[in-house]
A and B are shown apart, each in its own frame.
Chain A
Amino acid sequence: MSSKKIIGKMADSIDPSLFDFAEYDESKSELTGYSNYSFWRSTVQVFMKNKVAVALLILMVCVIIFTVIQPYLPNQKSPTQIYINPETNLQYRNVQPNDEFRFGTNSIGQDLWARIWSGTRTSLFIGVAVGLFEALVGITIGALWGYVRKLDAIITEIYNVWDNIPSTVVLIILTYIMKPGISTIIFAMCMTGWLEMARFVRNLIIIIRDREYNLASRCLGTPTNRIITKNLLPYLVSVIMLRMALAIPAAIGNEVFLSYIGMGLPLDIPSLGNLINEGRALMMDPNQRYQLFFPAAVISVVTISFYVIGNVFADSADPRNHV
């Protein structure tokens, strides 16, 4: 003790009065960092860092807005009217894109520009409707399936039976027996789509349901519905959002498939499926390829955008990435 030596820099210049005792305030020692963290704000921040996703999101918003307002803009043609050349009194068949018909016309003289936007509107509507329904039903059933042990066996049985019927068969039968139309196709896709969502949610819930914080809630007497909404689902936001974002392009793709096999929407309702189907017939003629190219381009952009946005959003909604 006697031969004390300062190893660090000599601190002789220090005011000796500083060697008095400081006042000790116990409550101050409890204060710790306050990071002012908010889940959603961090999610948005991380999402914003991905420029591609932000660009695609803006693009999608623009597309959606445009499909809605497009019919009310000046100089727009009707998507269903057949245009006739007043000079020859013949239909404007297969007119290449020009000033009047921006995307050209189809084989019976309808304006492809108007048809594509009308079709995009229909397809997006179908996609969003199916996506929302799948999420709603899938999450509800999946959560009960995963959390309520008594329901596990019975829902698993239902799932096994339902899942063993190929979904294409269900889709085809339902669209066949019901009146063709938008609501039919939405209904048919919902009947098959919720299954996967429900199983997905169930598996996730089983992973986290026995964590200590859920046991704590049970000990406090928290009812099942609140455990699901307050304890379980908030942990699954990111993955569920991704599934929903992917369900939309999947539904659009399904619609194209159904139209392709002739089970889709009636021909008088333009949809991306119908347009692609028409365009496909003309694919071999190089001059007519624009009829396939335009709807295919739109569906590609929409699908890829939703896919990228969904993935990036899921990543940014994962608290582990909130660095």
Chain B
Amino acid sequence: MNNKEKLLEVKNLRVEFGKKNKKFVAVNDVSFDIYKGETFGLVGESGSGKTTIGRAIIRINPAASGEVIYKGKKISGQIDKELDKELTREIQMIFQDPMASLNERAKVDYIVSEGLYNLKNYGSEEERKKKVEQALLDVGLLPEFASRFPHEFSGGQRQRIGIARVLVMEPELVIADEPISALDVSIRAQVINLLDELQKKKGLTYMFIAHDLSVVRFISDRIAVIHKGKIVELAESEALFANPLHPYTRSLLSAIPTPNPRVERNKVIEVYEPEKSHYDYDKNPPHWQEVEPGHFLLANERELTECKIK
């Protein structure tokens, strides 16, 4: 992995909401890298801060401390106009709820062209139309859909419109914030395959945010598990499934429903209770460390020795 080019580095990122008295730390001291061309999965439950990290990278939520580095340049905090424009094109986001993320009062043509209008990177009106058409074709929709309103489309189609809107920007890094969790299971595969195909065709890098490990496994090269604003475990996805070390990761894995009534009926779910699962964190606080090459874990000395024994 180390010979790969780092596209994005997140260092000790901290994001806070609210004013002094009611301060709420959504993301606490989070560090990870995303390599060019990979899919980095970020898994956590609601309120874990996973969406906030994505939004901090795309600069909707400001970082309280720590930094985000993209292609060697710091992009958190104040940046100049040139870089801002560049980042707008290169880092894009796919949203969770296709019902809420499209402007209902605009036609598909405008929705997909919105970024183009902003960048003005097209010569003529015809060229713009061509680009929109191509983007729609890329996501498996018909070009004639451009003249319609979003409400005429099903959830899966709307999500693909959202992807077309991102594609037209020709981005390098795409942050996909739970792009399939609001979709029917039957449509999920469609969207995942599409994302996969586009990655191969256009060399995209993905950060894939999800709450469900079963889906992330297929699309991700590496997975980070986040709990209450802290990343607790990070590993290559097969390593994580084969050898989950953190009790929280294990509980997430055990909760994945199996489509098999016989197995399911006898399943025991592991429950993660931080008070019971960890020992003496007051005296012996956990550190972020590499357990084996490429496998990171948030643990204290005692837990570390235990998982080495295993």
Inter-subunit contact A220/B157 (CB<8 Å): no
Binds A, one of B12-20, B101-109, B192-200, B259-267: B101-109
B103 contact from A37, A217, A221, A223, Cβ within 8 A: A217
Can you give 7 contacting A-B residue pairs, CB < 8 Å?
A: A30-B157, A31-B142, A32-B152, A212-B95, A213-B104, A215-B60, A222-B117
A176, CB-defined interface residue at 8 Å? no
> Within the assembled complex, what's the spacing in Å between the Cα atoms of A226 and B103?
13
> Within the assembled complex, what's the spacing in Å between the Cα atoms of A216 and B55?
11
Against B, the Cβ 8 Å flags (1 = close, 0 = not) of A1-40 are 0000000000000000000000000010011111101010
Instruction: Report A's interface with B, CB cutoff 8 A.
Output: 27, 30-35, 37, 39, 211-213, 215-223, 226, 230-231, 234-235, 319
A211 contact from B100, B114, B151, Cβ within 8 A: B100
Interface size class of B (residues with CB under 8 A): 35 or more
- Given contacts A215-B60, A230-B106, A231-B103, whether A37 and B92 have CB atoms under 8 Å apart is no
B119 contact from A33, A221, A319, Cβ within 8 A: A221
Q: How many A-B residue pairs have CB under 8 A?
A: 81
Inter-subunit contact A35/B152 (CB<8 Å): yes
Inter-subunit contact B92/A219 (CB<8 Å): yes
Known pairs A213-B100, A230-B110, A319-B104. 17 more at Cβ < 8 A?
A: A27-B142, A30-B140, A35-B152, A39-B105, A39-B149, A215-B101, A216-B93, A217-B114, A220-B92, A221-B85, A222-B115, A223-B118, A230-B105, A230-B106, A231-B103, A235-B104, A235-B105
Inter-subunit contact B152/A212 (CB<8 Å): no
Inter-subunit contact B96/A212 (CB<8 Å): yes
B97 to chain A, nearest CB (A): 6
Q: Which of B65-97 contact A (CB under 8 A)?
A: 84-85, 88-89, 92-93, 95-97
B162, CB-defined interface residue at 8 Å? yes
Residues of A within 8 A of B100 (CB): 211-213
Q: Which of B161-175 contact A (CB under 8 A)?
A: 162, 165, 169
> Within the assembled complex, what's the spacing in Å between the Cα atoms of A203 and B255?
42
Among residues of B, the one whose C-beta sits closest to the C-beta of A26 is B140
Residues of B within 8 A of A39 (CB): 105, 149
> Within the assembled complex, what's the spacing in Å between the Cα atoms of A221 and B114?
9
Q: Which 8 A-B pairs have the closest CB atoms?
A: A221-B88, A234-B105, A212-B101, A220-B115, A221-B118, A212-B100, A213-B103, A219-B93
Among residues of A, the one whose C-beta sits closest to the C-beta of B96 is A212
B58 contact from A27, A219, A226, A231, Cβ within 8 A: A219
> Within the assembled complex, what's the spacing in Å between the Cα atoms of A220 and B101?
12
Inter-subunit contact B151/A30 (CB<8 Å): no
B141, CB-defined interface residue at 8 Å? yes
Inter-subunit contact B95/A216 (CB<8 Å): yes
Residues of A within 8 A of B101 (CB): 212-213, 215-216
Inter-subunit contact A220/B110 (CB<8 Å): no
Residues of A within 8 A of B152 (CB): 32-35, 37
Among residues of A, the one whose C-beta sits closest to the C-beta of B115 is A220
> Within the assembled complex, what's the spacing in Å between the Cα atoms of A212 and B55?
12
Instruction: Report B's interface with A, CB cutoff 8 A.
Output: 55, 58, 60, 84-85, 88-89, 92-93, 95-97, 100-106, 110, 114-115, 117-119, 140-142, 148-149, 151-154, 157, 162, 165, 169
A221 contact from B115, B142, B154, B162, Cβ within 8 A: B115
Inter-subunit contact A216/B149 (CB<8 Å): no
Residues of A within 8 A of B153 (CB): 32
> Within the assembled complex, what's the spacing in Å between the Cα atoms of A212 and B165?
14
Residues of B within 8 A of A215 (CB): 55, 60, 93, 95, 101
> Within the assembled complex, what's the spacing in Å between the Cα atoms of A33 and B154?
10
> Within the assembled complex, what's the spacing in Å between the Cα atoms of A50 and B236?
64
Residues of A within 8 A of B154 (CB): 32
Among residues of B, the one whose C-beta sits closest to the C-beta of A219 is B93
> Within the assembled complex, what's the spacing in Å between the Cα atoms of A226 and B92?
19
> Within the assembled complex, what's the spacing in Å between the Cα atoms of A230 and B117?
13
Inter-subunit contact A222/B142 (CB<8 Å): no
Inter-subunit contact A212/B97 (CB<8 Å): yes
Residues of A within 8 A of B55 (CB): 215
Residues of B within 8 A of A216 (CB): 93, 95, 101-102, 162, 165
Among residues of B, the one whose C-beta sits closest to the C-beta of A217 is B114
> Within the assembled complex, what's the spacing in Å between the Cα atoms of A32 and B160?
15
Among residues of B, the one whose C-beta sits closest to the C-beta of A34 is B152
Inter-subunit contact B93/A213 (CB<8 Å): no
Residues of A within 8 A of B95 (CB): 212, 215-216
Residues of A within 8 A of B148 (CB): 34
Among residues of A, the one whose C-beta sits closest to the C-beta of B101 is A212
Residues of B within 8 A of A213 (CB): 100-104
> Within the assembled complex, what's the spacing in Å between the Cα atoms of A218 and B58?
10
> Within the assembled complex, what's the spacing in Å between the Cα atoms of A37 and B149?
8
B55 to chain A, nearest CB (A): 8
